[in-house]
């Protein structure tokens, strides 16, 4: 039996958001390498070995995928977008690991044949095969099911009856869900990719994740025909309860609202004064019903780290950042796999542009999932400055970059963001009304650096991405590695010169180190 057609759209929208994104691969790899070098110089052989293990395979050892069983998302499969063959040949994720990093990146996928070995019926805990679970039953791994039952008991005791809409889903079911959604969605494959996980990229395949509502919420959805995945659950009694209490039962809400996107500081209301795209830190829009079991002890550790990270500030972490940090990965996340939808903000294991949909506008990953450097270093062609009517100074830097050159946020556009008085790359608001973000150097990533003459306290205080400016709206809410725009292009920075500045200089930075510099023509 399959999921009923009536519930399909809803399931697709929600439960399956798969993914992740990626900017972190380069950062991760580079960061790890740096750490190793440091360790080698100063620490014992034992320590070095440990660190090296982390660096070699931060995403886990990849295994070949024997047979990719979702041809509909491949070239010729019926959609205009599709995955490159190289991105369907390796799986990095160990699904048995409760702390597995499953996201939208090429490194965040499970093998098609992965299924947990300890699935049970969530209602009574009786063992079930993956095949049985794909049919009429709601299944989770044994520990997750026990945690869920305890949580449902508590909810009941507090006057709320829980309602599980979706639990374990195998690769085949996810393939079916994704493709059905892509067929129904107006935006086709690309709209589906932001709403529903690609097969292999869904946390539901782990057997530890449920879409959990309340009976009241479900009944209302049935009565109105709007289903359970409608807006508003996060601010309902049940949604707030999950947000506050799920962690005490070992569950984490994987996809909260990004702090930049919250209305009036509310944890459950999204702002409406501008479009809210996917959260770059998770790869998806918020899903207050999607909770993943990581075990009580680790959920408590995550909660502690979350509190320490600064909830409500740009530094607030999600489960994704916590899981990455444990692996020594730098930056907020990895870019999604390239499927033709978000060229300029995707990554691929394909080593040949003929095999990829985005040609040069992608990050390319090595067999360990780390971002590869480009064939040549970028170079500055020209740099000019002019006064803007509002008193800011516009600095235009012409740059040549090879395809697949790693760069990083913040991306800039003619409109901004503006480096106002005192602002630096370590504290820059990505847009008006946003709190300042810190765009620390990510290993291996190139940026334009601009600074005043004479130099101030911060070296190259104004830094900007070589990526397409259009990426700013989504990706500047995170510190991530992005692919540079290949060929010749102009990076524009809006800066406010400090009093006493007599000129400007510009350079290209990688790992905080300048590579040539020149005066800006005014
Ligand atoms: Zn879900």
pLDDT one-digit tens code per residue, 44-100: 333 333 333 444 688 999 999 999 999 999 998 889 899 999 999 999 999 999 999
Contact 200, 171 (CB under 8 A): yes
Q: In terms of domains, do 343 and 402 share one?
A: no
For the chain, the domain total comes to 2
Q: In terms of domains, do 274 and 320 share one?
A: yes
Domain boundary among 294, 327, 348: 348
H runs (alpha helix) in 188-295: 188-195, 215-224, 237-245
Look at residue 414 and tell me if it is in a domain: yes
Which residue is associated with the tokens 């093998």? Answer: 111
Contact 329, 31 (CB under 8 A): yes
d(CA 290, ligand 1 centre) in Å = 4
d(CA 209, ligand 1 centre) in Å = 7
Q: In terms of domains, do 333 and 409 share one?
A: no
Query: Quick one: which of 465, 453, 444 has its CA closest to 512?
Result: 444
Three-state DSSP state, 144: helix
Per-chain residues with Cβ under 5 A from ion ligand 1? 15, 211, 290
CA atoms within a 13 Å half-sphere pointing along the CA-CB vector of 82: 16
Q: Give me 3's structure tokens.
A: 């999921």
Task: State which residues of the chain have pLDDT below 70.
Answer: 1-56, 355
d(CA 210, ligand 1 centre) in Å = 6
Look at residue 367 and tell me if it is in a domain: no
d(CA 406, ligand 1 centre) in Å = 32
Contact 401, 385 (CB under 8 A): no
d(CA 384, ligand 1 centre) in Å = 49
Contact 493, 364 (CB under 8 A): no
d(CA 96, ligand 1 centre) in Å = 18
Q: In terms of domains, do 125 and 234 share one?
A: yes
Q: Which residues pair with 256 in a beta bridge?
A: none
Look at residue 224 and tell me if it is in a domain: yes
Which residue is associated with the tokens 């946390």? Answer: 203
Q: In terms of domains, do 155 and 69 share one?
A: yes
d(CA 75, ligand 1 centre) in Å = 27
What CATH code is carried by the domain that includes residue 28?
Answer: 3.30.1380.10
Q: In terms of domains, do 126 and 240 share one?
A: yes
d(CA 167, ligand 1 centre) in Å = 8
Confidence at residue 56, expressed as pLDDT on a 0 to 100 scale:
62
d(CA 306, ligand 1 centre) in Å = 21
> Which residue range(s) make up the domain with 453?
379-519
Confidence at residue 6, expressed as pLDDT on a 0 to 100 scale:
34
Counting every residue, how long is the chain? 522
d(CA 494, ligand 1 centre) in Å = 41
Confidence at residue 144, expressed as pLDDT on a 0 to 100 scale:
98
d(CA 460, ligand 1 centre) in Å = 43
Contact 517, 506 (CB under 8 A): yes
Three-state DSSP state, 83: strand
d(CA 315, ligand 1 centre) in Å = 25
Query: Quick one: which of 229, 203, 205 has its CA closest to 217?
Result: 229
d(CA 204, ligand 1 centre) in Å = 6
Confidence at residue 197, expressed as pLDDT on a 0 to 100 scale:
94
């Amino acid at each position: 039996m399959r999921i009923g057609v009536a519930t399909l759209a809803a399931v697709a929208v929600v439960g399956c958001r798969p993914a992740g994104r990626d900017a972190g691969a380069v950062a991760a790899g580079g960061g790890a390498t740096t750490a190793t070098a440091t360790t080698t110089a100063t620490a014992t052989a034992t320590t070095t070995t440990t660190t090296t293990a982390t660096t070699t395979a931060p995403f886990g050892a990849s295994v070949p995928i024997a047979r990719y069983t979702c041809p509909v998302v491949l070239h010729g499969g019926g959609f205009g977008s599709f995955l490159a063959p190289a991105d369907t040949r390796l799986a990095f994720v160990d699904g048995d690991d409760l702390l597995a990093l499953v996201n939208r990146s090429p490194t965040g996928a499970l093998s098609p044949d992965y299924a947990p070995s300890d699935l049970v019926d969530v209602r009574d805990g009786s063992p079930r095969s993956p095949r049985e679970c794909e049919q009429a039953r709601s299944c989770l791994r044994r520990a997750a099911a026990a945690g869920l039952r305890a949580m449902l008991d508590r909810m009941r005791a507090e006057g709320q009856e829980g309602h599980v809409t979706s639990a374990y889903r195998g690769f085949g079911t996810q393939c079916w869900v994704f493709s059905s959604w892509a067929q129904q969605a107006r935006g086709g494959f690309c709209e589906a990719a932001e709403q529903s996980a690609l097969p292999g990229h869904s946390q539901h395949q782990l057997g530890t994740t449920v879409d959990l509502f309340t009976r009241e919420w479900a009944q209302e959805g049935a009565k109105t025909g709007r289903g359970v995945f409608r807006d508003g659950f996060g601010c309902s009694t049940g949604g707030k309860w999950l947000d506050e209490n799920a962690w005490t039962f070992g569950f984490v809400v994987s996809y909260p609202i990004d702090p930049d996107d919250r209305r009036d500081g509310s944890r459950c209301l999204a702002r409406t004064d501008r479009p809210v795209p996917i959260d770059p830190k998770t790869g998806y829009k918020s899903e207050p019903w999607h909770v993943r079991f990581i075990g009580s002890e680790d959920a408590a550790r995550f909660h502690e780290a979350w509190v320490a990270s600064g909830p409500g500030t740009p530094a607030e972490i999600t489960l994704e950042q916590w899981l990455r940090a444990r692996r020594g990965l730098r930056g907020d996340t990895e870019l999604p796999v390239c499927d033709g939808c978000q060229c300029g903000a995707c990554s691929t294991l394909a080593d040949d542009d003929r095999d990829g949909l985005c040609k040069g506008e992608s990050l390319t990953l090595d067999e360990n999932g780390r971002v590869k450097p480009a064939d040549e270093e970028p170079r500055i062609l020209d740099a000019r400055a002019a006064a803007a009517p509002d008193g800011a100074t516009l600095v235009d830097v012409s740059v040549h970059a090879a395809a697949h050159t790693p760069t990083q946020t913040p991306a800039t556009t003619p409109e901004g963001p503006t480096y106002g008085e005192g602002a630096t790359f370590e504290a820059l608001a990505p847009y008006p009304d946003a709190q300042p973000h810190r765009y620390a150097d990510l290993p291996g990533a190139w940026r334009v650096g601009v600074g005043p003459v004479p130099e101030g306290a911060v070296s190259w205080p104004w830094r900007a991405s070589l990526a397409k400016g259009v990426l700013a709206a989504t990706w500047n809410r995170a510190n991530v590695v992005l692919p540079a725009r290949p060929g010749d292009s102009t990076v524009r920075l809006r800066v406010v010169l400090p009093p006493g500045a007599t000129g400007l200089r510009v350079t290209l930075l990688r790992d905080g180190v300048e590579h040539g510099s020149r005066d800006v023509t005014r």
